[in-house]
Structure 1
Amino acid sequence: MSDGAGRPTTAARRPAGRATAAVVVAAVVVLLVLPAVPRLFGSYAVTLFTLIFFYGFLGQAWNIVGGYAGQLSAGHAAFVGVGAYTSAVLSISYGITPWIGMFVGAGLSALLGAVIGYLGFRFGLRGFYFVLLTVAFAELCRIVAANVEAVGGAQGLYITFTGDPRQFQFGDTRAYYYIAFALMLGATGVATLIERRRFGIYLTAIREDETACEALGVDVFRYKMLAMIVSALLTGIGGTFYAFYLFSVQPNTVFGIPLSVEIIIRPIVGGAGT
């Protein structure tokens, strides 16, 4: 229902307001309950939820470029791998804490994302062709890592457990649960912030009709590049968690297509761009 000026009436707005309130209440309840899971349930539940949070984090990171901008990357495992290898090598070979290596790896992942984005977006690759480009870079990273002995070659790297929190290692697995939970909340916060800013509006418009955006003067290349870089940076942070949660990094796994598919499938099923 609407009034004479075409505005929705109070009665029409009421259901929408109730739905929003219900969502907010449900979200608050979930946020209050989830931190208590490790104290209420056993180690299996903790491990399960840790993985759910981690892949939720990766899914939200992918969602920035794949969901909002509509640029389907099928090679996001490359960014996980770069982040994982960077923090692992810095820790094993140079004694640099993964808490620092995490951001170095994220920076290198962002740089790789910029390279992929530049090649793809500058030359107008869309759809299937952009997918192939991202897969090709992930495969290139896998081949390089598997053939460079300095990073473990085909066998990869194995991290010795010390239980030192300064080395991103914890004797209590609940610590990984809380870190994964924080990562997921952080990525969701970034995605929500983007969605509510002009940046997000432009990304959505580009996804819906890139040609029209260009005709209207929107710098399509710039916004797609920014989306790719932010997405790659966040995913690179996840690489450190991946390496020090599993205590190993193998090229065929961390750069493999199966990991990219696992990253993609969750936001697609859950609703890309939301």
Structure 2
Amino acid sequence: MINRNQLIALLVVFGLIATCPFWVKSAPTMNTIIAVLYIALLGQSWNILGGYGGQFSFGHAAFFGTGAYTVAVLQIQLGINPWIGLIAGGLLATFVALVIGFASFRYGLRGSYFALVTLAFAEVLRILSNSVSFTGGGVGLLIPLDRRFSNLQFEDNRGYFWVIWALCLVCFLTVWWIGRSRFGAWLMAVRDNEDAARALGVDVFRTKMGAVALSGFFSGVAGVFYAQFYLYLDPSIAYGSAISIESLLVPIIGGMGTLFGPLIGAGVIHFLSELTRHFVGDVPGVALSIYGVLLILIVMFLPRGLISIGTVLLGKSRRRANA
């Protein structure tokens, strides 16, 4: 029943979001909604591996950047349609995720060791993309402007809205399925106690590999969307630490291992980012400092994320009533 209610709530939420193009007339407001959905997709991709699987990644930029560069290089160098690049970017990011997962999980790396391995891979890919010619090196790649639906570019930002809305819906439905599937039960068992899960017959290695593959795919797809929306990439954007930080902050602040946590976290993160930019400007490091303070407060007072506020308040009211 809980999972069915979650599905109904998910469809209602995305149904309400789908009405935005019909009443939002301001282009900046629509861009804000698009940005929140994009960040939610990125955060949910991390949530699959970190929230449900308990495998904290500090280098999700490795998957994001691979997806972004795949669609850009295929368009610019080979003239391949970006709709094909969307799938190719997700699949190549999945391959990179499987390589990292195999190198880590096959040899029992977990916890901080796994986090450092993902961070190292992201940094290696950043250095490589800064050195080879087909990525444009340090100059980056500028995707030619050609606003046609067939080219995954749109005259109106509502076209981008529908693309990111659909990608988010697929990702969130996948996470809903994880929450009710046998694979999801194995994954959460590994998260809670890996040794106990192994003793009960769970194939820990295959379960982790499945999680990192799904996480890598959706992160790569988010990278493809970013490339098509902003039409520019360079190594510091694609493989930079900012992407990895944003990926993990969103679900941690919203609520790890929950269906709606990344969506809540994305809204809060983007709101804080815009608020900081409005009052402080683009001063380097200020936004990250605010994120850090918020993260400390969340860990101290709401360890299950903002999504648990209702539960915490309900628990306090019940204790007061019983007292």
User: Normalising by the residue count of structure 2, what TM-score does the alignment of the two structures yield?
Assistant: 0.76
Counterpart of 1:137 in structure 2 is 121
Counterpart of 2:223 in structure 1 is 239
Counterpart of 1:172 in structure 2 is 156
Larger radius of gyration: 1
Matched, 1:45 2:29: yes
Matched, 1:262 2:212: no
Deviations 1:156-205 (A, max 9, x none): 10012111221111111111111111111110001111111100001001
Counterpart of 1:94 in structure 2 is 78
Query: Take 1:24 and 1:186, find their aligned partners in 2: how far apart are those partners?
Result: 12
Q: 1:13-32 counterparts in 2 under 5 A?
A: 27=10, 29-32=12-15
Query: Take 1:184 and 1:123, find their aligned partners in 2: how far apart are those partners?
Result: 33
Deviation at 1:237, TM superposition (A): 1.4
SS for the counterpart of 2:189 is helix
Q: Does the C-alpha gap of structure 1 residues 131 and 163 become closer, same or farther in structure 2, counting only changes over 3 Å?
A: same
Q: 1:2-13 counterparts in 2 under 5 A?
A: none
Of 177, 195, 198 in structure 2, the residue corresponding to residue 193 of structure 1 is 177
RMSD (Å) for aligned C-alpha atoms:
1.9
SS for the counterpart of 1:82 is helix
Query: Take 1:107 and 1:26, find their aligned partners in 2: how far apart are those partners?
Result: 30
Counterpart of 2:40 in structure 1 is 56
Counterpart of 1:13 in structure 2 is none
Q: Which amino acid aligns with 1:30?
A: V
Counterpart of 1:3 in structure 2 is none
Q: Which amino acid aligns with 2:68?
A: A
Q: Name stretches of at least 5 consecutive residues in structure 2 with no aligned partner.
A: 259-323
Q: Is the 8 A contact 1:69 1:227 kept in 2?
A: yes
Deviations 1:28-81 (A, max 9, x none): 553333222223221111001101111111111111111111000111111111
Q: Is the 8 A contact 2:83 2:150 kept in 1?
A: yes
Q: Does the C-alpha gap of structure 1 residues 19 and 224 become closer, same or farther in structure 2, counting only changes over 3 Å?
A: closer
User: Normalising by the residue count of structure 1, what TM-score does the alignment of the two structures yield?
Assistant: 0.89
Count of aligned residue pairs for this structure pair: 257
Q: Is the 8 A contact 2:104 2:114 kept in 1?
A: yes
SS for the counterpart of 2:43 is helix
Q: Does the C-alpha gap of structure 1 residues 123 and 23 become closer, same or farther in structure 2, counting only changes over 3 Å?
A: closer
Q: Does the C-alpha gap of structure 1 residues 81 and 23 become closer, same or farther in structure 2, counting only changes over 3 Å?
A: closer
- Aligned identity (percent) is 42
Q: Which amino acid aligns with 2:151?
A: Q
Deviations 1:242-262 (A, max 9, x none): 101010111111101111111
Deviation at 1:126, TM superposition (A): 1.4
Deviation at 1:215, TM superposition (A): 1.9
Matched, 1:108 2:127: no
Q: Which amino acid aligns with 1:168?
A: L
Query: Take 1:124 and 1:26, find their aligned partners in 2: how far apart are those partners?
Result: 38
Q: Does the C-alpha gap of structure 1 residues 22 and 83 become closer, same or farther in structure 2, counting only changes over 3 Å?
A: closer
Query: Take 1:86 and 1:20, find their aligned partners in 2: how far apart are those partners?
Result: 36
Counterpart of 2:281 in structure 1 is none
Q: Does the C-alpha gap of structure 1 residues 28 and 204 become closer, same or farther in structure 2, counting only changes over 3 Å?
A: closer
Q: Is the 8 A contact 2:3 2:180 kept in 1?
A: no
Q: Is the 8 A contact 2:7 2:176 kept in 1?
A: no
Q: Does the C-alpha gap of structure 1 residues 204 and 86 become closer, same or farther in structure 2, counting only changes over 3 Å?
A: same
